[in-house]
């Protein structure tokens, strides 16, 4: 009985969150136009006319028109290293300790002359999303 109540409450909260998100997206599209692509909350590409919204300080977005000179590039560096250490303990058996070091970095550089030239640091797991976004913006810029 209690489990059913908790499940129903969880579903209710998730539905309310989805409705709130849908309304927020609709409001943003009403103001700026249809969203063609995005990389997290850092960069959004709007259509008609094509514009880039780049995250600024305190959750603000700065809009910049996309021109034929606009170029986006994704740069990555670092990697993940795993090391295993075997340490004997007092009982004669060995303990195995595994250490994982993640030094990956991902950057999105945006050159949108004359008003914008910026490098944004992204989460390392956004690589595919960032490359797809950069490709779509570069293709759009070539068509202008």
Mean pLDDT, consecutive 10-residue segments, the chain of 144 residues? Answer: 83 90 76 82 87 85 89 90 79 77 89 88 92 94 90
Which helix (H) or strand (E) segment holds residue 127: the answer is helix 127-143
Let me know whether 137 and 88 are in one domain. Answer: yes
Write the CA distances from 18 to 53, 106, 144, integer angstroms. 23, 29, 36
Smallest Cα–Cα separation from 142: which of 36, 72, 68, 71?
68
What does pTM read for this prediction?
0.70
- Give the H/E segment covering residue 101: strand 94-102
Start-to-end CA span in the chain (Å): 61
Considering the domain architecture, whether residues 27 and 70 belong to the same structural domain is answered as no
Count up the domains in the chain and report the number.
Answer: 2
Pair 63, 110 in one domain: yes
Q: Please give the pLDDT value at position 21.
A: 80
Both 27 and 89 in one domain: the answer is: no
Pair 117, 50 in one domain: yes
pLDDT of residue 92: 66
């Amino acid at each position: 009985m209690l489990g059913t109540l908790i499940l129903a409450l969880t579903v209710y909260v998730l539905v309310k969150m989805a409705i709130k998100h849908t309304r927020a997206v609709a409001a943003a599209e009403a103001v700026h136009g249809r969203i063609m692509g995005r990389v997290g909350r850092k960069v959004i590409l709007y259509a008609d006319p094509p514009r880039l919204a780049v995250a600024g300080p305190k959750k603000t977005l700065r809009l910049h028109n996309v021109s034929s000179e606009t170029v986006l590039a994704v740069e990555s560096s670092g990697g993940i290293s795993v090391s295993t250490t075997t340490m004997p303990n007092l009982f004669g058996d060995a303990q195995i300790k595994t250490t994982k070091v993640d030094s990956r970095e991902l950057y999105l550089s945006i050159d949108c002359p004359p008003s914008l030239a910026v490098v944004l640091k992204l989460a390392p797991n956004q690589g595919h999303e960032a490359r797809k976004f950069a490709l779509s913006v570069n293709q759009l810029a070539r068509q202008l």
